[in-house]
Amino acid sequence: MDHQHRDVRRAERGIARSRRLADLPLTYTWVGASMSDAVPGPARVTRARRIGQGEPAFRAASELLLTWGMHRDAGLAVRASDERVRLGSVVVLDLGRRPFRLRAPCRVVAVIDEPRRQGFAYGTLPGHPESGEELFLVTLTDDGLQVLVQASSRPATWWARAGAPVTRAVQALLLDRYVRALARAARAADRLPPT
C-alpha cells in the first residue's frame, strides 16, 4: 500500500471516529459549570492572568486559542473535527507517548465570540480520564489582555481516582502550559511593528 493511500485511509478512520464521538453523550450533567457560579458542579481549578495589552495581542491569543494552537503549544497532540473551534467540534487530545499516552476526547459545548471576548468551553466524552468541563477565555479590557482557564471536573476512571493527586498535578500543569502558550502569542504580537 502506498503512503498516499494509507494517509487517505487514516483520514477516513479519523472522520468516522469524530462522527462516532460527536454522537456520544457528555460524561457529566453540570454543563455550564465552568462558565457560571450558578451551575453546581465539582470544585474549580482556575488560572487567571494578565498576558498582554492591545488589539494585536488580543487577536494573536484569540487565533491561537480558536485554532487549537494553545493545546499544541502546551505539548498535546490534537485531532479535531474542525480546524477552527465551533460549537459541537470534537477534539481528541493526547498527552505522552505509548504505552503511557493519555487520550482525552471532548466536545465543544460553548463558544464565546464577542468583540472583546473570545473563547470556548468543552466537555468530556467517554474515554476521557476526567469527567467535566474546561473553559478557555481571552478578554481585552482597559487594563490589558486577560486570560482565564478554568476546569470543573472529577476523576472518571478507576486509575484517575486511584492516582488523584497525580491527576490533579497533571491538570494543573496543563492549565499553566495553556496560559503560557497564550502569553507567548500575545507577547509576540506586541513586538510586531504596526500594520
- Second CATH level (architecture) for the domain 3-191: 2-Layer Sandwich (3.30)
pLDDT mean for each 10 residues of the chain (195 residues): 48 56 87 73 83 95 97 94 96 79 90 97 92 94 94 78 76 91 91 55
Q: Where are the alpha helices (DSSP H) in the chain?
A: 3-23, 55-66, 69-73, 158-162, 164-191
Give, to the nearest 10 degrees, the angle between helix 164-191 and helix 55-66.
140
The whole-angstrom distance between residue 168's C-alpha and the CA centroid of its chain comes to: 16
Residue whose entry in the numeric block shows the C-alpha cell 479535531: 80
Burial of 65 (0-12, 13-18, 19+ CB in 10 A): buried
- The partner residues of 47 in beta bridges, in order of sequence, read 149
What CA–CA distance (Å, rounded) separates 66 from 70? 8
pLDDT of res. 148? 96
**Which amino acid, residue 29?**
T
What CA–CA distance (Å, rounded) separates 190 from 181? 14
pLDDT of res. 195? 47
pLDDT of res. 159? 72
Q: Count the neighbouring beta carbons within 10 Å of the beta carbon of residue 85.
A: 21
Q: Which cell goes with 39?
A: 451551575
pTM of the model: 0.85
pLDDT of res. 21? 77
The whole-angstrom distance between residue 182's C-alpha and the CA centroid of its chain comes to: 12
**Which amino acid, residue 55?**
E
Q: Which cell goes with 43?
A: 470544585
